[in-house]
Structure 1
């Protein structure tokens, strides 16, 4: 902290500039390290400015004198300004951090970092440098937190989904100053890596920049800035307009006692007020400093921000009052209970105008926290397709988090196909229509919707049926949005349902549209056979349906898989064709699986020539003597259990 303080006081530059000098050692004048640094200072500014993303990395020399460097310019400036800024960065860094092998310098329009350690191979942001305006908003603190959280959250979300990982935003609020924001990640980060880099920014802002009229969180891999004046060039990428009523003023608040205010170098007009600097704190320590009270406050602000965003974005989406839903469900009466979902019970209800609804009441102890709830609300409200369930609205009140859907009278697909007394109600014609409808819904999610969505939890219990037995995909709490440039994502938090998980997702946390294709293949086999893929069931010597199907396929006994009630309605060639499609979908290697476009084409045309499938995943799971005695004759299955797996045991 002393280094940063002295730098600010002793080296006042016309352009706003801050530096962090490393502690990995020093080099000497005219040394090989200095020559390598000079080589990068000559090449990196041009390299960054000639790249459309205004980003470049470079390496010069060999160990022990190797130098690694990274330059990133703000996404709205031109190439010439970028080149000048990075060039100045090399000059200033070598003056302000004289002979230090590691230095980072931040400007309004660019950042430069170099080191003798290979930080380019990591995606971590390192310690964050926080700057704050020394003046406070005069409006209500709660309103400011709400609006600021919304501004940062929406801008960050937009940046994550941008191919350049950069977004500028403007928020117009009644009776308050207009707020401007920019969020940026280095463009070599994936969407998930960018989101991970930015994930602590809202809480850091609420803790350290609370009520301030401007602030920044600066790091090597990602950064954020907001002000009450336009500090970026051109029109904003994102425009947020508030319809909120006038915000009451409560007077200035006192700066936190743990923050020391230093004068900030002058910024381009309009002049910015002084700023304060908070010492760089490792992310883990920052999280540890957040008290449970602060976390609870941040959660409440996020919930309020979600409600506010929903009100603005969709006139067809209703924010229900809890009293409305209590009346509609007769206080969540047991006789109105439709079933038990993975995250809480679902009830039938009727609104005062006679409209029937399905109400999913998230259990407070369920695995679906506010993140999944928000994900489902914001995602499915934007999706419109005849084979997707329609979300009518939600309720966020106190500890209650409730989702309200259109009511579908025929429950879910698993109710029919896994119950011998009900399966006969679904003849082959209806099952074929369900298969095709689910395929069309997935194709919309993967290719034709504006969001490009991977569902991640496709299963029979998440296929709802309307009065005509038309299928509708439901439950988007675990879904993920892909940018146009991304083909797959990864996570350490594996969520989904055993029996439907692709092998690469279950074992490595890698998911893509091919993960949904795998789940669709499992579902197709279940619809054909009326048997669950896994659980306490035996298929001869096999423990799951995939292995049993592969065994029948190799022997040419296709009709043996098909449920007796529909086998008489199918020709042998038709059974072979549908099993072929299913086996193509559940192949072990994701690259071998078809896309949903290919699947829909194969389902709709008998003229499409289908390739021979390779063996499916998990096909070699067989019953051994050691496990045979453990198999019990119970009608339960792991297929319906949505799981969350955290490798660190949290």
Structure 2
């Protein structure tokens, strides 16, 4: 698949995030290409791919699927965040598959991001390729006072989690934390889609982390979600098992974030 390198347009929107485990809402979507709404064959192929992704991805957290031939062929991918439960994964994929066709009006290239999962389909084969064009960025509006020290600590934890995620046998997931002050820890997560080879995963994550300087600065939390990898850090536990929660869900309300939708 030829990558699009035209220009990047940013749409900034204020966003209040609910506590984890409450309403499962999309954090962003991307729609491109032509609409297949008037093509019965293409619509049937899209619906078939999405149904297959939900059925096969719910148990293992990852799935790819294809349907159709020629101009009507559709390639699809679904992945859950590697730390979420099977039930949360299944619920997220089901909601994503239901929302994506209507959100994108059966576009030939459609993607939707959730906190717990990501679903995508396209009329071109993108399997195994790093894609850091379209994406969704969430940035905490609160910043740390000592920017240099905080960014250094963020870089340290993200270095650890990206190394974990790109290591062979890791299933593309890395999680860790770094002590910033005696009272504050920085929690980090990195993940690639499982169709990527370790080197391709490392390249995707390196690109994503390199853009922390563009978007995140010394903000107390930030996540960059691309189509083939995602990176995130916060100053509170957000990945499972939640530290100090006995394995339960997060109950603390998250502060307002800025949402940036990145278009190629």
Q: Which residue of the partner structure matches residue 407 of structure 1?
A: none
Decide whether aligned partners of structure 1 residues 66 and 277 sit closer, same or farther in structure 2, where only a CA change above 3 A counts.
Answer: same
Q: Deviations over 1:245-278 (max 9, x none)?
A: xxxxxxxxxxxxxxxxxxxxxx963111111123
CA RMSD between the two structures: 2.6
Q: Which residue of the partner structure matches residue 109 of structure 1?
A: 116
Partners in 2 of 1:171 and 1:16 — Cα distance?
29
Q: Which segments of structure 1 move beyond 6 Å, counting only runs of 4 or more?
A: 1-6
Q: Which residue of the partner structure matches residue 126 of structure 1?
A: 133
Q: 1:218 is paired with a residue of what secondary structure? A: strand
Aligned residues: 245
Q: Which residue of the partner structure matches residue 3 of structure 2?
A: none
Q: Deviations over 1:578-619 (max 9, x none)?
A: xxxxxxxxxxxxxxxxxxxxxxxxxxxxxxxxxxxxxxxxxx
**Structure having the larger proportion of residues in helix:** 1
Q: Is the 8 A contact 1:19 1:106 kept in 2?
A: yes
Partners in 1 of 2:63 and 2:223 — Cα distance?
23
Q: Is the 8 A contact 2:225 2:231 kept in 1?
A: yes
Shift of 1:172: 2.3
Work out which of the two has the higher radius of gyration on C-alpha atoms and give 1 or 2. Answer: 1
Unaligned runs of 5+ in 1: 237-266, 283-650
Unaligned runs of 5+ in 2: 1-7, 17-21, 244-248
| 1:99 maps to 2:103 | no
Q: Which residue of the partner structure matches residue 552 of structure 1?
A: none
Q: Which residue of the partner structure matches residue 274 of structure 1?
A: 256
| 1:90 maps to 2:72 | no
Q: 1:179 is paired with a residue of what secondary structure? A: strand
Q: Is the 8 A contact 1:24 1:116 kept in 2?
A: no
Q: 2:160 is paired with a residue of what secondary structure? A: helix
Q: Which residue of the partner structure matches residue 209 of structure 1?
A: 216
Q: Is the 8 A contact 2:178 2:187 kept in 1?
A: yes
**Alignment counterpart, residue 166 of structure 2, candidates 127, 142, 160:** 160
Decide whether aligned partners of structure 1 residues 4 and 65 sit closer, same or farther in structure 2, where only a CA change above 3 A counts.
Answer: farther
Decide whether aligned partners of structure 1 residues 124 and 21 sit closer, same or farther in structure 2, where only a CA change above 3 A counts.
Answer: closer
Partners in 2 of 1:153 and 1:67 — Cα distance?
36
Partners in 1 of 2:120 and 2:155 — Cα distance?
29
Q: Deviations over 1:559-579 (max 9, x none)?
A: xxxxxxxxxxxxxxxxxxxxx
Q: Is the 8 A contact 2:54 2:97 kept in 1?
A: no
Shift of 1:24: 1.0
Q: Is the 8 A contact 1:21 1:100 kept in 2?
A: no
Shift of 1:104: 0.8
Partners in 2 of 1:77 and 1:277 — Cα distance?
23
Decide whether aligned partners of structure 1 residues 4 and 20 sit closer, same or farther in structure 2, where only a CA change above 3 A counts.
Answer: farther
- Higher relative CO (Cα under 8 Å, sequence separation at least 6) belongs to 2
Q: 1:38 is paired with a residue of what secondary structure? A: helix
Alignment of 1:100-499 (within 5 A): 100-120=107-127, 122-137=129-144, 139-163=145-169, 164-234=171-241, 269-280=251-262
Shift of 1:115: 1.2
Partners in 1 of 2:206 and 2:64 — Cα distance?
24
Partners in 1 of 2:179 and 2:99 — Cα distance?
37
Q: Which residue of the partner structure matches residue 75 of structure 1?
A: 82
TM-score for the superposition, normalised by structure 1: 0.35
